[in-house]
C-alpha cells in the first residue's frame, strides 16, 4: 500500500492526487506541484497538475504517467484507472463498469458510498422521484407529484427527497424552474452486499407486493414459478437472468425518445434448498 495515502479511501481521483501530493510534500519538501509536473515529463507545463485537480481531462498516456510517478502497483493501479474512468467516462456504461471495478477492488466497498448515498437508497421513493423527473415537470410545488406517485408519498417526504438529490448534485433546476436529473443513471453494483443496498432491495420487494394488491390499471406483469434443475442448468438460468438485466439496461440507455412513463423491475432468482446443513435460525415449526 502507498506510504503516503490509502487510495481505497477515495472515489474521486482528483481529490486523491491533491491529497497525495500534499502529504508527500509534507514528508519530502521538494515534492511540489511543479516537481510533480517535472516527474510527469512536463517541465514546461508547470500548471498541469493544478489544471487536473481543477477538472482538466487526463489522457490514457498521462494516466499511466501518474501511476508510475506515484508508484501504484497491482490493484492500486487498477483502482486508480477505474477512478479516472468513473470520473471521465463519456457514457453511463463506461462509468458503471468503472464503478463495478472499484467495488470489486475495494476491501471495504461501503467506503465508496458517502452518507448521502446511504440516505438516498434508504428510501425507495428517492430513485423513483429521480426517474419521474424525466417525465414530469416538478418545481417547488410537489402536489401533482404527490398525487401521481405510487405507492403514495407525502409532500413533506417528496420535498426532502428533492433537497437530498440537490445536495448530491443529482438534480438541478432548468431554465423554467423545474427539477431535472444531472446524470444518466445511478450506479449501483450487484457485487456490493452492503446494508444500504440490501435495505433498498427489501423496500423494492414491498413495492412489488403493493403493486400486486392494488386495483389500478397501471402496467404490471408478475410471474412466479419454481422448478428443479441440474447444476449446469442452474448456472444457465443465472446467466440468462444476467443477460436479461443487461438487455434491459441497453434498451433504456438506447432510448432516444422523450420518456413518458416510469417502470420498476424486480428480478429474483434464488435456491429453495440450502447447500449446507447449517440451520438458518428461523423457520416454521
pLDDT in tens, 20-35: 999 999 999 999 999 9
pLDDT category of residue 244 using cuts at 50, 70 and 90: confident
d(CA 161, CA 276): 43
Report yes or no: 120 and 168 within 8 Å, Cβ to Cβ.
Answer: yes
Which pLDDT belongs to residue 4? Answer: 86
Which pLDDT belongs to residue 260? Answer: 85
pLDDT category of residue 203 using cuts at 50, 70 and 90: low
**By three-state DSSP, how is residue 76 classified?**
helix
Cell of 199: 435495505
Q: 154-192, pLDDT tens digit by residue? A: 999 999 999 998 888 788 899 999 999 875 445 433 333
**Taking 70 as the threshold, does the pLDDT of residue 92 lie above it?**
no
Q: 38-86, pLDDT tens digit by residue? A: 999 998 888 999 999 999 999 999 999 999 999 999 999 999 999 999 8
Which residue would you say has higher pLDDT here, 92 or 197?
A: 92
Cell of 155: 409532500
Which pLDDT belongs to residue 192? Answer: 38
Which pLDDT belongs to residue 200? Answer: 61
Which pLDDT belongs to residue 41? Answer: 94
d(CA 31, CA 221): 61
User: What is the DSSP secondary structure assignment for residue 180, as one 8-state letter?
Assistant: E
The structural domains of the chain, with segments of one domain joined by +, span: 7-107
List phi, psi (to 5°) of 173.
Answer: -80, 140
Which H helix or E strand runs over 90?
none
Q: Considering the entire predicted model, what is its pTM?
A: 0.46
Amino acid at each position: 500500500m502507498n506510504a503516503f495515502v490509502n487510495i481505497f479511501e477515495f472515489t474521486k481521483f482528483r481529490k486523491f492526487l491533491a491529497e497525495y501530493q500534499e502529504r508527500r510534500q509534507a514528508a519530502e519538501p521538494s515534492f511540489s506541484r511543479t516537481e510533480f509536473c517535472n516527474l510527469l515529463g512536463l517541465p514546461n507545463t508547470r500548471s498541469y497538475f493544478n489544471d487536473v485537480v481543477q477538472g482538466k481531462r487526463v489522457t490514457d498516456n498521462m494516466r499511466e504517467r501518474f501511476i508510475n510517478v506515484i508508484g501504484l502497483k497491482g490493484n492500486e493501479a487498477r483502482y486508480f484507472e477505474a477512478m479516472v474512468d468513473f470520473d471521465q467516462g463519456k457514457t453511463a456504461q463506461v462509468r458503471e463498469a468503472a464503478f463495478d471495478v472499484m467495488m470489486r477492488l475495494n476491501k471495504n466497498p461501503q467506503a465508496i458510498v458517502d452518507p448521502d448515498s446511504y440516505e438516498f437508497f434508504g428510501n425507495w421513493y428517492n430513485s423513483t422521484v429521480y426517474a419521474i423527473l424525466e417525465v414530469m415537470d416538478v418545481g417547488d410545488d410537489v402536489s401533482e407529484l404527490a398525487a401521481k406517485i405510487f405507492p403514495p408519498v407525502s409532500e413533506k417526504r417528496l420535498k426532502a427527497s428533492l433537497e437530498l438529490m440537490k445536495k448530491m448534485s443529482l438534480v438541478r433546476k432548468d431554465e423554467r424552474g423545474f427539477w431535472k436529473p444531472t446524470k444518466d443513471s445511478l450506479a449501483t453494483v450487484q457485487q456490493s452486499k452492503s446494508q444500504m443496498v440490501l435495505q433498498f432491495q427489501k423496500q423494492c420487494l414491498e413495492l412489488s407486493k403493493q403493486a400486486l394488491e392494488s386495483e389500478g390499471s397501471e402496467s404490471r406483469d408478475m410471474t412466479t414459478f419454481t422448478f428443479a434443475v441440474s447444476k449446469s442448468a442452474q448456472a444457465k438460468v443465472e446467466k440468462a437472468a444476467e443477460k436479461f438485466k443487461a438487455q434491459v439496461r441497453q434498451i433504456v440507455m438506447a432510448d432516444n425518445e422523450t420518456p413518458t412513463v416510469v417502470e420498476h423491475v424486480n428480478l429474483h432468482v434464488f435456491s429453495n434448498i440450502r447447500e449446507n446443513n447449517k440451520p438458518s435460525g428461523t423457520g416454521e415449526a
